[in-house]
Amino acid sequence: MAIEDGVRAIEDGVQTDFSARMDYGGYLSLDTLLSAQRPISDHHDEPLFITAHQTTELWLKLALHELTAVRGYLDADDVRRARKGLARVKHVFRTITDQWSVLATLTPSEYAEFRGVLGNASGFQSWSYRGIEFVLGNKNERLLPVFEARPEAQDLLAELLGSPTVYDAFLRFLARGGHDVPRHLLDRDVRKAWVEDPALLPVFRTIYEDTEAHWAEYATCEDLVDLEDAVQLWRFRHLRTVQRTIGFKTGTGGSSGVDFLKRALDLTFFPELYTVRSSIGG
């Protein structure tokens, strides 16, 4: 490529006239996206706070999109596509876990100078994250009133509340494949949160003790464990970032803050996949 007066020339084939063509900004709606950061204060660090949360919400929206597709792939016995989707969501959570390090550059004194403008706005009110919790099995109908002021979000969560989870879809996939999944788990009330059931452990023990015969099932089990680990690491990094920024203050949404986030670490989506490890090879 020619360089003239220290300036690199534009290649002949590069498009420069977008008067009648769609450009990058148009495709990505950048006018809308980049104007969505609207600080309420004049504090220098508020744009950081907004950007960190907005980008996280975009990734969470994608993760929910992928997880609902994974559920559909499992229903269709397309385990390869289901595994690809699970891997993608795992990397989404790894990405937003790394993002906490940027927000952690916000010191307690800096955050305190504009925290008041947030009012009661809180990540607790993220409907994309709540949808992910629901589709992975941590369902709670009592949370729906939180979204009454946003009917579309509430409708989305109500639909996910009444739909099978990714785990339900996986167990039904296993049953269709000849595994002896207990009938009461296949017929369970999917509006309820998943609760660990020891009756499922023999199914996973069989899979793990003969991985060659059950490779697709075994690999998908490990994909689910990878995903849960990724979510838990994100939760933990969230806790640590909050703790270093506000200590043990009450959250803006009214939660107990760090203590509330600590309790979330006890939540598990696929408990049997962890419990079964105690009996493998023993």
Cβ atoms within 10 A of the Cβ of 106, count?
18
126 neighbors 57 (Cβ within 8 angstroms): yes
Tell whether residue 115 is among the known ligand binding residues: yes
pLDDT tens profile 48-82: 999 999 999 999 999 999 999 999 999 999 999 99
Q: What is the pLDDT of residue 37?
A: 97
Please report whether residue 130 resides in a domain.
yes
* Domain assignment present for 55: yes
Tell me the CA distances in angstroms from 53 to 46, 60, 103, 249, one per residue in order.
11, 10, 9, 20
Domain ranges, residue 174? 45-278
The span from the CA of 215 to the CA of 267, in Å, is 28
| CATH code of the domain covering residue 222 | 1.20.58.480
Asked whether residue 256 carries a pLDDT value surpassing 70, the answer given is no
| 27 in a structural domain | no
In a domain, 20, yes or no: no
pLDDT per position as a tens digit, 162-216:
999 999 999 999 999 999 999 999 999 999 999 999 999 999 999 999 999 999 9
Q: Kindly state whether residue 18 falls inside one of the protein's structural domains.
A: no
Query: What is residue 4's predicted lDDT score, i.e. its pLDDT?
Result: 63
* 3 falls within a domain: no
pLDDT at residue 202, as a whole number? 97
Neighbours of 155 (CB within 10 A): 12
pLDDT over threshold 80, residue 127? yes
Instruction: Tally the residues of the chain.
Output: 282
Closest to 126 in 3D by CA, of 190, 30, 50, 61? 61
238 marked among binding-site residues: yes
Q: Is residue 86 part of a domain?
A: yes
Confirm or deny that 32 is annotated as ligand binding. no
pLDDT at 261 over 80: no
Q: pLDDT tens digits, residue range 184-197? A: 999 999 999 999 99
Coil, helix or strand for 134? Answer: helix
- Strands 7-8 and 3-4, bridge-based pairing: antiparallel
Q: Is the pLDDT of residue 1 over 60?
A: no
The token duo for 69 is 């597709």
> Which of these ranges, 41-45, 159-163, 259-263, has the smallest mean pLDDT?
259-263
Mean pLDDT, residues 226-233? 97
Does 23 reside within a domain? no
**Which one-letter DSSP state was computed for residue 113?**
T
Least confident of 131-140, 236-245, 250-259, 268-277: 250-259
Q: What is the pLDDT of residues 129-169, one digit of tens each?
A: 999 999 999 999 999 999 999 999 999 999 999 999 999 99
Q: What is the dihedral of CA 218, 222, 227, 232, to 10 degrees?
A: 140
The predicted model gives 106-115 an average pLDDT of 93
* Type of residue found at 205: R
Number of domains in the chain: 1
**Can you tell me the mean pLDDT for 106-133?**
92
Per-residue pLDDT, averaged over 226-252, amounts to 89
CA distance 61 to 153: 12
